[in-house]
Amino acid sequence: MQAADTCHAVKLDQNGKPVRQSHHSQEMKSNLISRLNRVEGQIRGIKGLIEKDTYCDDVLTQIAAAQSALNSVGKLLLEGHMKSCIVERIQAGEHEVVDELLVTVRKLMK
């Protein structure tokens, strides 16, 4: 993760509240998009296996591979989030971000 990857409240929603956004480097975005494109292809492949009445165990193996690939994307995002957004917000005195992070980690671990 490069130093350019930071979180900022730069936009306002319809109610005038700041909306946090990530600003990932182009390299990070490309990496994430590439991984997600592969996951998307895996999902289409799984759909095709089901349409072809492929043996269940083979389909389940492909589902596990797709889940693993998607988890990998989540881990990369989480790492970047912790190294930039979380650190920045703690330094800014926003310690409630730790509770927000714990909720997010619990969701990822389901």
More confident residue, 46 or 22: 46
Say yes or no to pLDDT of 6 above 60: no
Residue type, 34: S
From 30-44, 46-60, 80-94, the region with the lowest mean pLDDT = 80-94
68 pLDDT band (50/70/90 cuts)? Answer: very high
Cα separations in angstroms, 14 against 11, 17, 18, 19, 20: 10, 7, 10, 10, 14
Mean pLDDT of the chain: 89
Q: Per-residue pLDDT for 93 more than 90?
A: yes
Mean pLDDT of 55-78: 96
Q: Within 13 Å and on the Cβ side, how many CA atoms surround 19?
A: 7
